Amino acid sequence: MFSKLLAFALAVRSVAAEAVPAYSGYNVVWQENFSGPAGALPNEATWNIIVSSQNANDEWQSYTRSNLNLQLSGGNTVQIVPQVNNGAWTSARIESTYVFTPPAGRRTIVEAKIRFGNNPASQKQGIWPAFWLLGDSIRHGTPWPQCGEVDILEMVDGQLTGYGTVHCDVAPGGICNEFSGIGGTTSIPDNSWHVWRVVFDRTAASWTGESITWYRDGAQFMQVTGGRINNQAVWSSLAETPMYIILNVAVGGDFPGAPNSATLGNWGSEMEVAYVAQYQST
C-alpha cells in the first residue's frame, strides 16, 4: 500500500506529457519519454536497472530496483528517490541498453529535461544526482577512465551549480587530470525543469578541431576540443566511440562528501526526468 501511495504522490508532481522537442537541422535518432503507469519500473528493454552495493568514489548508497527508489510517475517522467533507513542509504541508477557513436561529419546532441526536489541545500548534503555518458568499452573490459566519460550534468549537496566534465586517459593524473577531470560549471536558476545538453561536433576537417560543448537551457557553459586533449586515441574515447546513457542519484562519495544528520532522503531530494533524447544533424 505504501508503494502505491508513494507513486500517487509523485504522479501529481510530474509535468504533463510532452513531446521531445524538434530542432531545425536535426533528426531524433533515439528518445525515451518514460511512459507507463505510476509506480512501474522503466522499460527494461531500454534500461538496465543497476542493483549493486559496490560503488566507486566512496559512495554510501546501495542501488535497488524498488519503486521506493525508482518509478515512473504516470505522467511521462521517471523519478529517482534516495531513501535512508537507520543510516543505510538506497537509491537508483539506470543505464541505457541503447549505444550510440557520434558519426564523423555530423553533430550529435544528447539531452534531457530534469528537475530536482525542493528540499533546501541545508538538507541535501551528500545528495549527488547525475546525467552522464560512459564509453561502452567499459562493458567489454576497458578500465575507467580509459573508456571515456562525459558528464552532462552533476549537482552536489543541493547547491544550484551544474557541473559538466570529461574523464579520460589514466588515473591518477593523465591528460584529464584525474581524479578531477576537465570540467566547467554553470549556475542553475532553481530546482525546477531545465534542459541539459551536450553536442558532439565532428564536422571539422581534423580531429583536433572536433569539440564537445555543454549547454543549460541553450546557453553554453563548457567546451572541450580535440586540440585541447592533444592525443587522438584519448579524444576518440570521448567523442568517436560507442557510449551509453546513465541517470542516477548517488549519496555521499568523494565529490559531495558524506551526508550528515540534517540530510533528508525521500521526496524533496529526488531527481525527475521528463525525457532523454539523442539527435543527429541532417
**pLDDT tens sequence across 98-157:** 999 999 999 999 999 999 999 999 999 999 999 999 999 999 999 999 999 999 999 999
DSSP readout, 242-263?
A: -EEEEEEEEEBSTTT----TT-
Give the confidence band of 54 by pLDDT, cuts at 50, 70, 90.
Answer: low
Specify the pLDDT at position 12. Answer: 42
Phi/psi of residue 229, nearest 5 degrees: -65, -45
SS3 for 65-98 is CCCCCEEECCCCCEEECCEEECCEEEECEEEECC
Return d(Cα 225, Cα 210) in angstroms, integer: 6
Residue 17 is predicted with a pLDDT of 59
CA distance readout (Å), 23 to 152, 198, 275, 279: 19, 14, 15, 9
Given a cut of 90, whether residue 7 has pLDDT beyond it is no
Question: Is the backbone of residue 93 left (phi > 0), alpha (psi -120 to 50) or beta?
Answer: beta
CATH number at residue 32: 2.60.120.200
- Which residue has 559538466 as its cell numbers? 164
Average pLDDT, the chain: 94
Would you place residue 19 in the very low, low, confident or very high pLDDT band (cuts 50, 70, 90)? confident
Of 250, 195, 246, give the one whose Cα is nearest residue 81.
Answer: 250
Domain membership of residue 77 as a residue range: 2-281
Torsion sign, CA atoms 204, 210, 216, 222:
negative
Counted domains in the chain: 1
Percent of the chain predicted with pLDDT > 70: 93
**Section 258-276 average pLDDT:** 97
Instruction: Determine the average pLDDT of the residues in 47-57.
Output: 88
35-44 pLDDT, tens digit each: 999 999 999 9
Assess whether pLDDT exceeds 90 at residue 216.
yes
Contact 239, 102 (CB under 8 A): yes
DSSP 125-191: TTEEEEEEEEEGGGGGTPPTTTT-EEEEEE--TT-SEEEEEEE-S-SSBTTTTBTT-EEEEEE-S-S
Is residue 6 very low, low, confident or very high in pLDDT (cuts 50, 70, 90)? very low
Residue 105 DSSP code: T
Contact yes or no for 185/176 (Cβ under 8 A): no
